[in-house]
A and B are shown apart, each in its own frame.
Chain A
Amino acid sequence: MTTARSIGALALTLALAASTAAAQFPTTPPPAAPLKPTKLPPLHETTLPNGVRLVVVESHKLPVIALTLGMRAGDFTDPAGKEGLAQLTATLLGKGAGSRTAEQVSAAIEGAGGSLGAGTSADALTVNASALSDKAALAFELLGDAVARPTFDQKEVDLAKTQTLSSLQLQNSQPSTVAQRVFNRELYGTTAYAKSATPASVGAITRDDILGFYASRVKPRGAVLVVSGDIDLPTATRLANAALKGWTGAPAAVPALGAPRKRTKTEIVLVHRPSSVQANVIVGAPTFAGTDPRTYALLVANRVLGGGSASRLFRILREEKSWTYGSYSSFSWNRGVGAFGATVEARNAVVDSALVELLAQLRRLRTEPIPATEFAGARDAIVGSFPLAVETAQQLGGTIARARLLGFPADYVSMYRTRVAAITPARAQAVAKQVIDPDAALVVVVGDATVLRDRLAKIAPVRVVRPDGQPVAESDLAGPKAGSGIDVSKLVAAHDSFAVLVQGNPFGSSVRTVEKTADGVRISERSVLGPIMSQNTDVVIGTDGAMKSVAQRGTVQGMETKIDAAYAGGRVKGAATTVSQAGPRSVSYDTTVVAGTIDDNAVTTVIPTLAWSLNATFTLPVFASGEGVARTVTLKVTGKQSVTVPAGTFDAYLVEMSGGPVPVNIYVTTAAPYRVVKTAPVGPPIELVLVK
């Protein structure tokens, strides 16, 4: 029943409800208040007498300070063959400087509640220090000693090299690092930004190289020192001048950066990582210098595509498709040409789908106009979040240091938001079109090639490589299978004498003769090891490179040994008696072997027939005729060095042979015809050195 009175009561109730509604939970997001201006702490600048530009970001909120000293001496300045030199020099700056040893430096800075470190990027070498502000003078002094008075003690050089080599090995276990490294090398080709350290290039660096690099590149002119935190300009200037006293001069001219070639079609470089359960994917292309005016437009386009968790890649590949934990895109800001890259990590079963979708999203950015709301969201994200990027004095100091080293003008920080806010959807798309092209992209995939290769090949041509960039042999992708035998044409007649050294003392000899006969090659080896052992071995290889026979007669500590093995028609038949620590042991066998199998007594004979180079790896199917077992032996070049033996001094590759009973280091001349100049098992103090 509706009466005038009840209507009045209802109206009153409604009015009350309306008035309390203001205090209830709103069903739509609350509106934004006006954005506040970025509030920056005072910035002060001056140039020190030695040419260092000093910038002070003054903030007394907390009793801490941070220092960053940077100069244009990044990895791009590494000399060819000595990649890793800039990084190694940086690492050593604080490892013994002024009157302090490395131990004293680290104890001093950590006692001040801080740290001291140095490193390199593609463009710059930077030294960083931090401390509680009542220890500001000490932080300046340690940073000054590091750049102006490093000692580069030989012991520290050796340690840093050892640790760098182990780090390179460790990096090989981290798929994202491998992906980034291969991407860089493939993208930048032969230009300066392609440089990356390898075991061989680090191994080749000497203390003199480091002294030379330091003397020519670690110089104050053109360097920037940014000091942030609880300090003022006069104090910073006084402390910097005192700390950098005696550090003067200008750096040598830097090498040209060059521009990488643009691809004309998409190629997939598949880095084989056996047993990977997931694959890391990077799709990218070269861009332009960081200071290029197009940078701001690319920033917004990238945000639309993959710059955040609200961007297309994350939304589609993770939130819609459940293919990945994360998919993003970004681009590097370099002094020279930068790189754009979109990434996804996906389980093996969906890698191909994820890549196809990622490429489709790159295409969509080129072909479809960016919807207005989506564009505004991307642009506002960058403009709005800027205060968070420079919230602390240390963050602002870091931003300024990076901008100065990249060559940005002084108004970079103050104008950043204005420049981003000025970008239009059309401009963002136009720049994206210049850079991002799914039909001319570099795709790097790190994963198990035995699982992924055929599926990826349906998307674009695939090249399978190892983490170091070298091609992968077919045999590695299908497990050990047929080898190709021995290239007999590369076996030349020779007569080599070796001395056997035990703990450096001559203990015996070994003479090897290679002679060509009508039906192939005969290799004879006569070895005598003091009174302990003597052994004659004859190996015959056919003209087609296939093993024919092995015959060995000898005595070991008075006990007779012998091997007789015949290879034919994919089988080996034979018998052997050998002596081990447990006493004599006899075996007989008649078994199949894969084509191209080499008898283990002939492995060193094969060496001259292989195509040696730095980073070369060969995998050989081997039959140990003394034990009657098949093995897979790997010969891997791990470095290059000068080796002195009685026959002379040779430039030689260090080849690590593994897969046999003990690992063996073999030194092979770098020039053809390749000769073995020294052989040493890892562990026992025994060496075979070439006499003539």
Chain B
Amino acid sequence: MARSIRTRSAPSLLRPLVAALLAALPATALPAQKPARLPLDNYTLPNGLQVILAEDHTAPVVAVDVTYHVGSRDESPGRTGFAHLFEHMMFQGSAHVKKGEHMAMLEAAGSAGYNGSTIEDRTNYYEPLPSNRLNLGLWLEADRMRSLAVTDENFSNQREAVKEERRLRVDNQPYTKILYEEGYKAIDSAGCYPYSHSIIGSMDDLNAATTADVQQFFKLYYAPNNATLVVTGDFQPAEAKKLIAQYFGDIPRAPTPPAVSCQPRYDAGARRERVQDTKATLPAVMKYYTIPAYDSPDYPALELLGTIVGRGASSRLNRSLAREQKVALTSQTFVNLFGPRRGPGAFVVFAIANKGIAIDTVEARLDDQIAKLAGGITDEELARAKSSWRASAIRERSQAVTLAAAIQRANLFLGDPNSLDADFDRYAAVTADDVKRVAAKYLHPENSYTFIDSAEAK
């Protein structure tokens, strides 16, 4: 193990005082279990590429994660779905990698679970590898950053694949029409277009996209100064740094991409809509409340609120709607469906009716639960939500690839990769009053958009 546990001891004069304070505190306030501090090496190449290394020799595996700071929020009207379509192009070959070879090389090297993903704020590419093939992962990422093969043939092929993906995920599934698409309407588009349209994009916009658009997008956003490279796992830092300098060092920087503008509002009025869903067999209700960005001081309390209301068997929705009243087959919350955002997001409350139960009944019971939050939450509920949060924050460090994603998240959304460690204190500090306050501030009707899924399939 390369990691060392560094303990900072309090100055000797203060020790008796600290001991007295600890003794006076109830047991629940004792320091909660958290993982050892994560030592990170964070530096930037002359061309603007940010590099973060986290060494750990527990298992003979490494992960390479390149996150480009571009997502659907950077799309303009008429160009929806473009960031995600572009992600597909990144697997189509580059100057020294023929079409189809990217995946073949990775798989023959023993990579498993490599992929790319696009959300509102970023597009990432990652490959877990056996540690003897770190060089291949870095080389493939560098080759496509410097010389992506944007051809008409590749482009029309991937546009079709994305259209199939849209059919698979959205058009042919129950409930996803709202979750993937309609739900974005909850964000006021007049003040904030970037977060009010879907990632997957419309079929019309996908059809209208041209190869020239793709080339332009690549030049503007896929430059080293708009990306962060994270390497985690079983590597020797000196050797990794040498390879990174050699492979990425001479890729030219590009002009800074245009800034994204967004003025969120949290009082757009109570809106509602019925969505026809010929794929659903049970009706559902989804309530969207607009919430602030990930770096807002309110965010940890909102995330814990999400757990208390609708995540886990002991959550309020599961206990009331599913178990006591038996009106819902499932009821839960999502705090931003696809990940954090640097702009307004959605606190989603979602319930599917039990067989034979009217959706109006389910919605009324859901509203009861939201209204009840005015009475606050119990200390026990808060302690439970914090334990769940802490355990998941610890578990995401267990694999090189999930750790790399966590580092990227802290870096992009909180502006500092070390905030991954600091978050343990940020969440520990949330009080029951904080949770009550954010519930009142954001979960009110004037900040809501209600969707009723009609369930028309037989």
Note all chain A residues with C-beta closer than 8 A to B391: 64, 113-114, 130-132
Partner pick for B394 among A23, A33, A35, A62, CB 8 A cutoff: A62
Q: Evaluate whether A110 and B399 lie within 8 angstroms (CB atoms) in the complex, with A29-B139, A322-B160, A380-B108 already known.
A: no
* A387 interface contact, C-beta 8 A: yes
Q: How far is the CA of A112 from the CA of B35 in the complex (A)?
A: 16
* A323 interface contact, C-beta 8 A: yes
* A372 interface contact, C-beta 8 A: no
Note all chain B residues with C-beta closer than 8 A to A64: 391, 394-395, 398
A391 engages B59 (CB within 8 Å): yes
Note all chain B residues with C-beta closer than 8 A to A36: 60, 130-132, 234
* B432 interface contact, C-beta 8 A: no
- B317 CB to closest chain A CB (Å) equals 13
Note all chain B residues with C-beta closer than 8 A to A381: 107-110, 112
* Mask of B26-39 contacts with A, CB within 8 angstroms, 1/0: 00000001110000
A110 engages B312 (CB within 8 Å): yes
Q: Evaluate whether A274 and B109 lie within 8 angstroms (CB atoms) in the complex, with A64-B395, A170-B352, A319-B99 already known.
A: no
B168 engages A322 (CB within 8 Å): no
Note all chain B residues with C-beta closer than 8 A to A392: 59, 398-399
Q: How far is the CA of A64 from the CA of B394 in the complex (A)?
A: 8
B397 engages A391 (CB within 8 Å): no
A324 engages B164 (CB within 8 Å): yes
- Chain A 5-51 interface residues, beta-carbon cutoff 8 Å to B: 23-39
Binds B, one of A288-296, A308-316, A407-415, A429-437: A308-316
* A325 interface contact, C-beta 8 A: yes
B326 engages A162 (CB within 8 Å): yes
B174 engages A132 (CB within 8 Å): no
Binds B, one of A171-179, A242-250, A497-505, A541-549: A171-179
Partner pick for A276 among B60, B112, B172, CB 8 A cutoff: B172
A391 engages B314 (CB within 8 Å): no
Binds B, one of A78-86, A99-107, A584-592, A670-678: A99-107
Partner pick for A134 among B33, B130, B171, CB 8 A cutoff: B33
Q: How far is the CA of A63 from the CA of B33 in the complex (A)?
A: 7
Chain B CB count within 10 A is highest, among A134, A391, A393, for A391
A30 engages B384 (CB within 8 Å): no
Note all chain A residues with C-beta closer than 8 A to B278: 275
A110 engages B457 (CB within 8 Å): no
* B150 interface contact, C-beta 8 A: no
Q: Evaluate whether A346 and B164 lie within 8 angstroms (CB atoms) in the complex, with A111-B383, A170-B329 already known.
A: yes
* A163 interface contact, C-beta 8 A: yes
Partner pick for B281 among A110, A134, A173, CB 8 A cutoff: A173
B314 engages A110 (CB within 8 Å): yes
- A302 CB to closest chain B CB (Å) equals 13
Partner pick for B400 among A26, A39, A391, CB 8 A cutoff: A391
A173 engages B174 (CB within 8 Å): yes
B136 engages A30 (CB within 8 Å): yes
Tell me the nearest residue of chain A to B110, going by C-beta: A384
Q: Evaluate whether A318 and B314 lie within 8 angstroms (CB atoms) in the complex, with A28-B96, A61-B1 already known.
A: no
Tell me the nearest residue of chain A to B56, going by C-beta: A61
- B277 CB to closest chain A CB (Å) equals 9
* B247 interface contact, C-beta 8 A: yes
Partner pick for A25 among B142, B160, B314, B383, CB 8 A cutoff: B142
B390 engages A113 (CB within 8 Å): yes
* A115 interface contact, C-beta 8 A: yes
* A278 interface contact, C-beta 8 A: yes
- A379 CB to closest chain B CB (Å) equals 9
Q: How far is the CA of A326 from the CA of B245 in the complex (A)?
A: 36
Q: Evaluate whether A61 and B111 lie within 8 angstroms (CB atoms) in the complex, with A25-B246, A29-B105, A112-B387 already known.
A: no
Q: Evaluate whether A110 and B313 lie within 8 angstroms (CB atoms) in the complex, with A63-B394, A132-B387 already known.
A: yes
- A398 CB to closest chain B CB (Å) equals 13
Q: How far is the CA of A39 from the CA of B61 in the complex (A)?
A: 10
Partner pick for A385 among B58, B111, B354, B394, CB 8 A cutoff: B111
- B162 CB to closest chain A CB (Å) equals 8
B109 engages A111 (CB within 8 Å): no
Tally of contact residues, A, Cβ under 8 A: 86
- B399 CB to closest chain A CB (Å) equals 5
Q: How far is the CA of A309 from the CA of B156 in the complex (A)?
A: 19
Note all chain B residues with C-beta closer than 8 A to A377: 104, 107-108
- A557 CB to closest chain B CB (Å) equals 29
Partner pick for A63 among B35, B96, B100, CB 8 A cutoff: B35
Q: How far is the CA of A89 from the CA of B174 in the complex (A)?
A: 28
A30 engages B161 (CB within 8 Å): no
- B62 CB to closest chain A CB (Å) equals 10
- Chain A 82-131 interface residues, beta-carbon cutoff 8 Å to B: 102-103, 106-107, 110-115, 130-131
- Chain A 382-406 interface residues, beta-carbon cutoff 8 Å to B: 383-394
B326 engages A384 (CB within 8 Å): no
Q: How far is the CA of A298 from the CA of B136 in the complex (A)?
A: 28
B282 engages A310 (CB within 8 Å): no
A32 engages B312 (CB within 8 Å): no
Q: How far is the CA of A376 from the CA of B109 in the complex (A)?
A: 10
* A606 interface contact, C-beta 8 A: no
* A513 interface contact, C-beta 8 A: no
* A190 interface contact, C-beta 8 A: no
Note all chain B residues with C-beta closer than 8 A to A613: none
Partner pick for B100 among A163, A167, A315, CB 8 A cutoff: A315
A169 engages B281 (CB within 8 Å): yes
Q: Evaluate whether A388 and B246 lie within 8 angstroms (CB atoms) in the complex, with A106-B313, A345-B164 already known.
A: no
Q: How far is the CA of A129 from the CA of B110 in the complex (A)?
A: 31
Note all chain B residues with C-beta closer than 8 A to A25: 142-143, 146, 246-247, 250
A347 engages B132 (CB within 8 Å): no
- Chain B 304-345 interface residues, beta-carbon cutoff 8 Å to A: 312-314, 319, 322-323, 326, 329
- A692 CB to closest chain B CB (Å) equals 32
B60 engages A387 (CB within 8 Å): yes
Note all chain A residues with C-beta closer than 8 A to B60: 36-39, 387
Note all chain B residues with C-beta closer than 8 A to A314: 103
Note all chain A residues with C-beta closer than 8 A to B109: 32, 380-381, 384
* Mask of B378-397 contacts with A, CB within 8 angstroms, 1/0: 00100110011011101101
A277 engages B246 (CB within 8 Å): no
* A165 interface contact, C-beta 8 A: yes
Partner pick for A27 among B96, B129, B458, CB 8 A cutoff: B96
B107 engages A309 (CB within 8 Å): yes
A319 engages B355 (CB within 8 Å): no
* B167 interface contact, C-beta 8 A: yes
* Mask of B240-268 contacts with A, CB within 8 angstroms, 1/0: 00010111001000000000000000000
Partner pick for A169 among B58, B113, B167, B355, CB 8 A cutoff: B355
Q: How far is the CA of A166 from the CA of B331 in the complex (A)?
A: 13
Partner pick for B282 among A61, A169, A346, A390, CB 8 A cutoff: A169
A384 engages B280 (CB within 8 Å): no
B246 engages A170 (CB within 8 Å): no
- Chain B 192-246 interface residues, beta-carbon cutoff 8 Å to A: 234, 243, 245-246
Note all chain A residues with C-beta closer than 8 A to B100: 310, 315, 319
* A133 interface contact, C-beta 8 A: yes
Q: How far is the CA of A234 from the CA of B400 in the complex (A)?
A: 30
What are 20 of the A-B contact pairs (CB < 8 Å)? A29-B140, A32-B132, A33-B135, A35-B110, A36-B132, A38-B60, A106-B314, A110-B313, A162-B354, A166-B354, A170-B352, A172-B281, A174-B174, A278-B168, A345-B164, A380-B110, A381-B108, A387-B59, A391-B399, A392-B398
Q: Which 9 A-B pairs have the closest CB atoms?
A: A384-B110, A113-B391, A322-B160, A106-B313, A377-B108, A385-B112, A310-B104, A113-B387, A36-B60
The residues of A with any CB-CB pair to B shorter than 8 Å are 23-39, 59, 61-64, 102-103, 106-107, 110-115, 130-134, 159, 162-163, 165-167, 169-170, 172-175, 274-278, 308-310, 314-315, 318-320, 322-326, 345-347, 376-377, 380-381, 383-394
Given A314-B103, A381-B108, 16 more A-B residue pairs with CB atoms under 8 Å apart are A32-B133, A39-B58, A63-B34, A113-B387, A132-B33, A162-B354, A162-B355, A167-B329, A170-B329, A274-B458, A277-B171, A308-B103, A318-B161, A377-B107, A386-B110, A393-B398
